Chains A and B, each alone.
Chain A
């Protein structure tokens, strides 16, 4: 069975990836819902002792900004293959590192990317376990963990969470 994973660990994984690969400091936000309009979601799927998906979701301009930072170039003006690839790689790193923390026999899929303004991502038989909002100087994004089985991610009050992540 999977190890219990603290929400704080998931947050630290995301913070570390953004800081290491893009030199961008991010922190947890209380913003719960993705704004209306065009958005993009990149997901990887985990299969084995724990079955589910880990995704990152943001607005189109945000995704373009991430791609620019990731690739060390000016941000593309529209969502193109470079932007999708960059967001997919972010999902791969986040999902891969969460998988490693779970520490059991789990396989990781290739990333998939969806974009548009009217879609829902579901894992068959899954339910949303955690939707974590992040903010940084340039905007916000969301990391969503959906599992068919319960992954022991502890919910913490926002104030306590901020304290523990510091």
Chain B
């Protein structure tokens, strides 16, 4: 089973993403900020194939988390999707330059999320077309 790590300081968003991901077969771990996410990755690096990360979080924000994940060679195949209200082009460019695979802006629907996940190959396109 694919495992995703959802990183957001909002429990509400973590619950919404967890529900959406479980419906398409993901097992889900959660973290409330970048530091917690790195701790989870230390333990679950062989299981987690996808990270969904908010941008604005206490302790360590999503961009810093992304940069740190991309410094780990053993996580080179990990897909990272930013899920955030930061919709300016500059933010998107910064995230993509730092190694994000996709960018989802809040608010989002399940269809939008799944389409983005299919686009980066962590879901079969059939999941979106159903």
A residues at B contact (CB < 8 Å): 16-17, 20-21, 67, 70-72, 81-82, 85-86, 88-89, 92-93, 95-97, 99-100, 103, 108, 110
Contact = CB atoms under 8 A, between A and B. Distances in A.
Contacts of B11: 81-82, 85
A70 B11 CA distance: 11
B47 interface: no
A117 B56 CA distance: 30
B107 A85 contact: no
A82 B15 CA distance: 10
A71 B107 contact: no
15 contacts: A16-B107, A20-B108, A20-B109, A21-B107, A71-B12, A82-B11, A82-B12, A88-B10, A92-B85, A93-B106, A96-B84, A96-B85, A100-B86, A100-B87, A110-B56
Given A82-B12, A85-B12, A96-B106, A110 B87 contact: no
Interface of B: 9-13, 15-16, 19, 56, 58, 84-88, 106-109
A97 B85 contact: yes
A1 to B, nearest CB: 16
Given A21-B107, A110-B58, A89 B88 contact: no
B9 to A, nearest CB: 7
Given A71-B15, A95-B85, A99-B88, 18 more contacts: A16-B107, A20-B108, A20-B109, A71-B16, A82-B11, A85-B11, A88-B10, A88-B12, A89-B10, A93-B107, A96-B85, A96-B86, A96-B87, A97-B85, A99-B85, A108-B56, A108-B85, A108-B86
A64 B108 CA distance: 21
